[in-house]
Amino acid sequence: MKAILLLEDGFYLEGTSFGAESETAGEVVFNTSMYGYQEILTDPSYKGQIVCMTYPLIGNYGVNNIDVESGKVCVEGFVVKEKSHIVSSWRAKGSLEDYLRDNNIVAIEGVDTRALTRRLRQYGSMKGIISAIDLNLENLKKKLNVMPSIIGQDLVSRVASQSIYDWREGLGLRRVSEVRAASYTIVVIDCGVKLSILRNLKENFKRVIVVPYDTPLKEILKLKPDGVLFSNGPGDPEAVTPAIATAKELIRSLKKRELKAAVMGICLGHQILGLALGGQAQKLKFGHHGGNHPVKDLATGKIDITSQNHNFIIPPESIPDKSVVQTHINLYDHTSEGQKHTEIPLFSVQFHPEAGPGPFDARYIFGEFARSIEGA
């Protein structure tokens, strides 16, 4: 069935529908990963977005019940140059096309993803719509015109857990090397946490408790955490006001020495902590989405190839607290990739140390969290 992808600036591509034969809209971004499409599809950080894969052939190893980062598909839509007509993997439980159809996700193939990526790089991420049921461009333009911007939307409330629970699953076959779990309790403030983050935490710590993003600090402290982690998640960090308020209160308590615990942030969690420290959010032109971003540790000079998925950053110069120092930079565009506070046990990274998909270069960051707790 024929389908159309239309961007808000009028650029459009015609292709073939696969997945749900319907219509969807969202902010269009591109991902440069060569593999890991199932992890990308189920990453809560992609809520509100249509993802274009730059690698030309997608779906060759099918889908399974293991390579997921949440309990559902989170993207609004999916764009590929060519879907594989062959599924070849001993782990496969089905095809990508059936997976998208079963999860009611609209997708389009047979389009020039190079042209789309170039458009987004040149003009920035923008709203888009994929339709297999309405091929009238004027109608689609009208729908896009009334679609709200991703800026200012609280997308976290759509993907975060609504209850408190213990996480018990480790890395299993995903383990690269043995890790001795520290006898600490970690509370994860769930803004759309990836399962790979929870698995890595469980590998490094005795107890991992997940709480909703709007859980008050007094309720968190009842769980007696040794460490608190603000997770990844979708969209504009300034819209996640409950988590920002919790972070501010937590930072005040640490500065007053009323609390003995360490704090860590990943991706959106990094941005939330930056806002709580007085910083300001800035939207990137087309974001960082992929598994090949080189990040330099400014203290050691070491370079890790990292997995990334974000559209916003907190420029270090916007943070008035002079005790906050930059720890990592992105070697593509020199944007900030990490920060730490020199007076309290608090640090965060913009990249994804758990990967999923991507290289495992940065998994040591979870060990840094354990050492931060030891020194708290």
DSSP string computed for 163-196: S-EEE----GGG-SS----EEEEEEEEESS--HH
Question: Where is 337: in which H helix or E strand?
Answer: strand 336-341
User: What residues contact residue 322 under an 8 Å CB cut-off, 6+ apart?
Assistant: none
Residue 4, beta-bridge partner list: 14, 131
Catalytic annotation, pick one of 270, 289, 328, 352? 352
Helices (H) and strands (E) counted in the chain, each on its own, are: 9, 19
* Cβ-based neighbours of 189, under 8 Å, separated by 6 or more: 211, 213, 215, 220, 228, 229, 230, 231, 243, 246, 269
Buried b vs exposed e over 141-151: b needs ≥16 C-beta within 10 Å? eeebeeeeebe
- Mark whether 267 is an active-site residue: yes
Decide: 112 and 14 in contact? Cβ < 8 Å: no
Nearest Cα residue to 129 out of 159, 108, 158: 108
DSSP reduced 3-state for 34: coil
Measured between alpha carbons, how far is residue 313 from residues 45, 71, 330, 369 in Å?
14, 27, 11, 22
Residue 194 burial by Cβ neighbours in a 10 Å radius (0-12, 13-18, 19+): buried
Question: What does the block give as tokens for 47?
Answer: 């809520």
Residue tagged active-site, from 27, 267, 288, 341 = 267
Give me the residues paired with residue 313 across strands: 282
Tell me the CB-side half-sphere exposure of residue 304, using CA atoms within 13 A: 26
Provide CB contacts within 8 A for 319, sequence distance 6+. Answer: 274, 277, 278, 279, 339
Q: Which residues are catalytic?
A: 267, 352, 354
